[in-house]
Structures are given as C-alpha cells and as structure tokens.
C-alpha cells in the first residue's frame, strides 16, 4: 500500500487542508464546508478553482502527476 498525497493546488487537496484548518479554530466545529454554496464554495471562486472547463481541470491533475490515479489499486 502507498500513501496518496492530494496537493493543495488541486481542489480536493485544498478543500481538505482548508477545512481541517478552519475546523480547529474557535467554533470551527459548527461550520459547514461544502462545494455547494457554503464557506468553501466562496473560497473556490476566490482562488480560481471554480470552473466547468474540463480541460483546465484535467491539466491541473496532469501537472501534479495524478492523472489516472483512481485506476490504480492502492491497497494490496
């Protein structure tokens, strides 16, 4: 088995890092982090991750070397 690191220059990596940081702040456990109209949705737009351009998304994934990662078996 190998560990899969999701970098913060991909949306999912940033979502995990951002949510984790915010949840550990005061009252962070009361916040909701979703992709649909919540705290993270606004962040997504601010940092340029909100897009429907499939080629742009594909290029981001390819740039970090994770293209086809879900086609690989990570647990033996």
pLDDT category, 14, cuts 50, 70, 90? Answer: very high
Q: In the chain, where are the structural domains located? A: 11-71
Q: How many CB atoms lie within 10 A of CB 57?
A: 14
Cβ atoms of 17 and 8 within 8 Å: the answer is: yes
At 35 the three-state DSSP class reads coil
Tokens of 50: 């909100």
Quick check: 42 and 17 in contact, CB under 8 A?
A: no
State pTM to two decimals.
0.79
pLDDT of residue 1: 59
pLDDT at 8 over 90: yes
- pLDDT tens profile 28-68: 788 877 777 778 888 889 999 999 999 999 999 999 999 99
What DSSP line would sit under 55-75, residue for residue?
A: HHHHHHHHHTT-TTGGGS---
> What's the pLDDT at 76?
66
């Amino acid at each position: 088995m190998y560990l899969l690191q999701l970098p913060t220059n991909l949306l999912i990596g940033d979502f995990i890092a951002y949510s984790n940081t915010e949840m550990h702040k005061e009252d962070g456990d009361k916040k909701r982090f979703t992709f649909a109209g919540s705290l993270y949705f606004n962040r997504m737009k601010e940092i340029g991750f909100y897009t429907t351009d499939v080629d742009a998304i594909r290029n981001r994934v390819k740039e970090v070397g994770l293209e086809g990662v879900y086609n690989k078996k990570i647990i033996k």
